[in-house]
A = this chain, B = another copy of it.
Amino acid sequence: MAYELYYWGEIPGRGEFVRLALEEAGAAYTDVARGKSGQRRLSAFLNDAKNTHPTFALPALKDGDTVIGQTAAILLYLGDKLRLAPKNPEQRVWTHQIQLTVADLVNAVHDAHHPLGAHLYYEDQQEEAAKRTAAFRSKRLPQFLQWFETILANNPEGPACLVGSKLTYADLSLFQVMEGLTYAFPKRMATLRRRLPHLKALHAAVAERPNIQIYLASPRRIPFNTDGIFRHYPELDV
A-side interface residues toward B, CB under 8 Å?
Answer: 52-57, 66, 68-70, 72-73, 76-77, 90, 93-94, 96-97, 100-101, 104, 107, 111, 115-117, 119-120, 128, 131-132, 135-136, 139-140, 143-144, 147, 150-151, 154-156
Contact = CB atoms under 8 A, between A and B. Distances in A.
A150 B54 contact: yes
A93 B76 contact: yes
Given A76-B96, A96-B76, A56 B131 contact: no
Nearest to A66: B90
Task: Name the residue among A100, A131, A156 with the largest chain B CB count within 10 angstroms.
Answer: A100
Given A115-B115, A116-B132, 11 more contacts: A56-B147, A57-B104, A66-B90, A68-B93, A68-B94, A70-B96, A73-B96, A73-B97, A117-B140, A119-B139, A120-B135
A97 B57 CA distance: 11
Task: Name the residue among A68, A93, A144 with the largest chain B CB count within 10 angstroms.
Answer: A93
A53 B150 CA distance: 10
Contacts of A54: 147, 150-151, 154
Given A90-B66, A117-B132, A156 B73 contact: no
A97 B111 contact: no
B117 A93 contact: no
Contacts of A154: 52, 54
